[in-house]
Structure 1
């Protein structure tokens, strides 16, 4: 999807043709849209396609006539009824008259700019626009990290009584997400450091505070990702042991029941033999109350065995 925007009289307006100071937004673009932008701006088609590869690394490329900045942004993917978080590339291309963003998805990072809700946003002030995108990107990372932290707390309550691997697999997925977040944020930090020394990246005096805020937010996101990653790693190990221990408790109960039931089975099996009454016959086989007495003995022995096993150190 190709959309064009320009700040006119302080208001964000969507336009039909690019003009000086305009913003061209490409989200999941078609080949025709890429070719159109390539023809109108003179940007290499390969550079326009670069962020459409989810393995593209964050970097800054200075070409003749334009500068391309690629950063990783967070995104949400729904799988199996759950939201999973990952990172995808976002390209910001700065030309003499235009700024172009290219992404494989319609990312929520850019939605406030399109809606005109970002304070002090102007498409003509391209360097500030880039800093505002980077700031918005860092805040999105922080937002998703807090969501992951809350989901971890909910999962912790379920794991206390879990006996299956589903919760452990969710924890592993979250740990993988945090590793991706930390890696992407560190790559973005390198891009920011390079931007501050780039001659083409014109900085306005009033943008110094914004640049400082971007760096602080990004560092905070890196620290949070590292902290949460360490916590999740410890939780995964701890709850793997809890699941194993819960399963052991269940097996302990089944073992006690199995041994207890084997006692009357053994007694009744012996009395099921075809022994004749007399000297070599089974005890009580000739008594009219023999059946009741044998049952009573079997129940009593079973109760004693069950009591002993439940208090034995071997089954604690």
Structure 2
């Protein structure tokens, strides 16, 4: 899908030239849409390929006419009918008056955040649009991290009551999500910090000129990103702690079950031994006595009660 946003000074009907477009948004583009974008803006074909690579790391790269800034954004991934959070690269190609954003997945939350950049100020200044994109992506990370915080609390409550395979799957998914988020936020932090310290150029030529408000916007995005890093680190430690406690609880439960079963085996073994002994076809005490069965049963009960008492005193049972 390709979306082209015009600024207010663009004529309603006119030729599609780069000067008349300020933002080209490519979402999971088809080959013909990529060709159209290449015709509208000064884009490097290899830059588009980089942005569409699922495993592309955040970075900044230049060529003669344009610059690509790659950051990672959170999105909802669906696999085998199950939804989970992951991250995807977003390429921002800057070329003269044209900004091109490229994302390989059509995620509603990402597109909603990006479309907040369709404002007059953003559509006239590349710097403003770049700052707004950084800000919206960092806020999206924070939104998902707050949702993860609520899910962790719910998971702790569930694990305190029951321990099912579904809880284990949720714990694993949360651990993977937080790991992906932490890695993406760390690299996004590096990109934003580098732009704030060293600035950014369009290709090998014009250097972008950020206003004081735009610097404040970058600083806000950097602050939110670092807060996200802090939160994801805490969540990682919390989830690791939950996993360790969960493993300890399961191990302790298994030990308790084995302890009870072993104790019952010992207890049952005593009357079994006595009755088996009196079942032998040899001369035995009390075998001619009419009350022999009562005597043998009494011995079994007394012996069993003694064993149970000893186990209780030694806290074995």
User: Which aligned pairs between 1:123-134 and structure 2 lie closer than 5 A?
Assistant: 123-134=123-134
Corresponding position of 1:278: none
Distance 1:34 1:267 in 2: 88
Q: How far 1:180 sits from its partner (Å)?
A: 2.4
Kindly tell me: are residues 81 and 288 of structure 1, through their superposed partners in 2, closer, same or farther at Cα, counting changes over 3 Å? farther
Q: How far 1:244 sits from its partner (Å)?
A: 1.2
Corresponding position of 1:204: 211
Kindly tell me: are residues 267 and 201 of structure 1, through their superposed partners in 2, closer, same or farther at Cα, counting changes over 3 Å? farther
Corresponding position of 2:112: 111
Distance 2:119 2:305 in 1: 77
| 2:273 counterpart of 1:266 | yes
Corresponding position of 2:258: 251
Are the aligned partners of 2:271 and 2:300 in contact in 1 as well (CA < 8 Å)? yes
Once the two structures are superposed, residues 159-178 of structure 1 have per-residue CA deviations (whole angstroms, 9 ceiling, x without a partner) of: 34666776556445433432
| 2:227 counterpart of 1:220 | yes
Q: How far 1:113 sits from its partner (Å)?
A: 4.0
Corresponding position of 1:288: 290
Distance 1:210 1:193 in 2: 12
Q: TM-score, normalised by structure 1?
A: 0.83
Q: How far 1:260 sits from its partner (Å)?
A: 1.6
Q: How far 1:49 sits from its partner (Å)?
A: 1.7
Are the aligned partners of 2:134 and 2:218 in contact in 1 as well (CA < 8 Å)? no
User: Which aligned pairs between 1:67-78 and structure 2 lie closer than 5 A?
Assistant: 67-78=67-78
Are the aligned partners of 1:74 and 1:87 in contact in 2 as well (CA < 8 Å)? yes
Q: How far 1:135 sits from its partner (Å)?
A: 1.0
Once the two structures are superposed, residues 120-148 of structure 1 have per-residue CA deviations (whole angstroms, 9 ceiling, x without a partner) of: 76333322122111111111212222222
Distance 1:118 1:26 in 2: 15
Corresponding position of 1:240: 247
Structure 2 gap segments, 5+ residues each: 202-206
| Further displaced range: 161-170 or 189-198 | 161-170
Are the aligned partners of 2:135 and 2:220 in contact in 1 as well (CA < 8 Å)? yes
| 2:152 counterpart of 1:145 | no
Distance 2:190 2:218 in 1: 14
Corresponding position of 1:312: 314
The count of residues paired between Structure 1 and Structure 2 equals 305
Are the aligned partners of 1:60 and 1:69 in contact in 2 as well (CA < 8 Å)? yes
Once the two structures are superposed, residues 205-240 of structure 1 have per-residue CA deviations (whole angstroms, 9 ceiling, x without a partner) of: 432322221111111111111222223333333332
Kindly tell me: are residues 84 and 284 of structure 1, through their superposed partners in 2, closer, same or farther at Cα, counting changes over 3 Å? farther
Kindly tell me: are residues 117 and 296 of structure 1, through their superposed partners in 2, closer, same or farther at Cα, counting changes over 3 Å? farther
